Amino acid sequence: MDGKKTLYSAIQPTNNLTIGNYAGAISNWLKLQNDYDCYFAIANMHAITVRQNPAELRQKTLSMLALYIACGIDPDKCCLYIQSHVPAHAELCWVLNTFTYVGEMERMTQFKDKSARHAENVNMGLMDYPVLMAADILLYQAEYVPVGEDQRQHLEIARDIAQRFNNIYSPTFTVPEGLFLKVGAKINDLQEPVKKMSKSAENPNGSVFLSDDRDTVIRKFKRAVTDSGSEIKYDPENKPGVSNLLTIYSVFADKTIPEAEAEFAGKGYGDFKLAVGEVVSDRLAPVKSEQAKILADREYLNTVLKNGAERAAHTAGRTLSKVYKKIGFYQI
């Protein structure tokens, strides 16, 4: 479209989003939507690799769409859709499975983590997760994929699979590149600041959810773990707690890390934590009220989804048909 390069990303509708998802994914998408032909999906097929409550999954899917729009992702500029609405994802995934080795999948960090966390349900889908993600990206011939740091390994495998297929047949897939932010690509847990902040963390005090009310946000920041010493300085190695808070502040206040350091020079940890909590809740308040308004308009959401799925299916269908031709599937 308009000679713009294509960009693809997705988020699973599991749990409520955290400020980590906002910083690492959505805030980045916002900046990119004007300059690229963007596809943003709700990855419900990825979500079921971990057991979900059906009613909740349905509700979270819509609530995530409303959130995308409330954050400023414009459905007139970007293609917003639900992964399961476009069958080509499952279809290409099957083909790509035959170009992926079991050993490669067993080595994936997220697979190992999630298998340990869900030992009672280490299903084939969990292992196949990266191949489905490769199918998502490759169907749209995406040049760029903005994601958080934790997705780097999955992106590498998507590139490998694309190159493998292109080498065996002829150039078919664009080999995608990850777009990682300098600041915000990894927000850590407030209680264990050396661990990634996650939607499904065990301790809810370590994650700040976009749905948290102001008091909860402030309370979580007040209780955030800081480090020894009293200086407010960015030093992830020796001061992981303070550095994480500075990162959050810089994303939510739209300031650089040195600007944030200068602002808090000479101040105590108490004031600093309060200021971070305030800037985050100030930013979230309008998003939350806008999300509720959008969520109430089911007809509008369904129209967005219908248009999105149509557009996505058109692009994806072209790639799938090319693939089927190359591998020798008879087509009428």
Three-class SS of residue 251? helix
Q: Indicate whether 289 belongs to the interface with ligand ATP (CB under 6 A).
A: no
The answer to whether 114 is a known catalytic residue is yes
Residue 136 interacting partner from ligand ATP, ligand LTN, none (CB closer than 5 to 8 Å by kind): ligand LTN
Give the binding range for ligand LTN (CB under 6 A) out of 7-15, 30-38, 167-175, 186-194: 7-15
Site map (CB under 6 A) of ligand ATP, residues 186-225, x = contact:
xx--------xxxxx-------------------------
Residue 199 interacting partner from ligand ATP, ligand LTN, none (CB closer than 5 to 8 Å by kind): ligand ATP
In contact, 12 and 46? CB cutoff 8 Å: yes
In contact, 93 and 320? CB cutoff 8 Å: no
Q: Indicate whether 319 belongs to the interface with ligand LTN (CB under 6 A).
A: no
Q: Indicate whether 147 belongs to the interface with ligand ATP (CB under 6 A).
A: yes
Count CB-CB contacts under 10 A for residue 141. Answer: 20
Q: How many angstroms from the chain centroid is the CA of residue 240?
A: 23
Give strand pairing partners of 146.
179
DSSP 11: E
The beta-carbon contacts of 265-269 under 8 Å, at least 24 apart in sequence, are 265/232, 267/232, 268/230, 269/226, 269/230, 269/232, 269/242
Number of residues written out for the chain: 332
Residue 197 interacting partner from ligand ATP, ligand LTN, none (CB closer than 5 to 8 Å by kind): ligand ATP
Q: How far is the CB of 229 from ligand ATP (least distance, A)?
A: 25
Q: Indicate whether 61 belongs to the interface with ligand ATP (CB under 6 A).
A: no
Distance, CA of 235 to CA of 228 (rounded, Å) = 12
Q: How far is the CB of 157 from ligand LTN (least distance, A)?
A: 11
Q: How far is the CB of 260 from ligand LTN (least distance, A)?
A: 26
Element (H, E) at 146: strand 144-146
Catalytic residue among 4, 31, 182, 199: 199
Give 223's contacts (C-beta < 8 A, 6+ positions apart): 190, 191, 205
The number of C-alpha atoms within 13 Å of 274 and in the hemisphere containing its C-beta is 5
Q: Indicate whether 14 belongs to the interface with ligand ATP (CB under 6 A).
A: yes
Element (H, E) at 113: helix 109-117
Three-class SS of residue 155? helix
Q: How far is the CB of 83 from ligand LTN (least distance, A)?
A: 7
Distance, CA of 29 to CA of 141 (rounded, Å) = 18
The answer to whether 199 is a known catalytic residue is yes
Q: Indicate whether 100 belongs to the interface with ligand LTN (CB under 6 A).
A: no
Q: Indicate whether 179 belongs to the interface with ligand ATP (CB under 6 A).
A: no
6, 7, 8, 21: residue in contact with ligand ATP (rule CB under 6 A)? 21
Interaction with ligand LTN in 35-74: which residues (CB under 6 A)? 43, 46
Contacting positions for ligand ATP (CB under 6 A): 11-12, 14-15, 18, 20-21, 23-25, 147-148, 150-151, 185-187, 196-200
Contacting positions for ligand LTN (CB under 6 A): 8-12, 43, 46, 133, 136-137, 145, 147, 151, 154
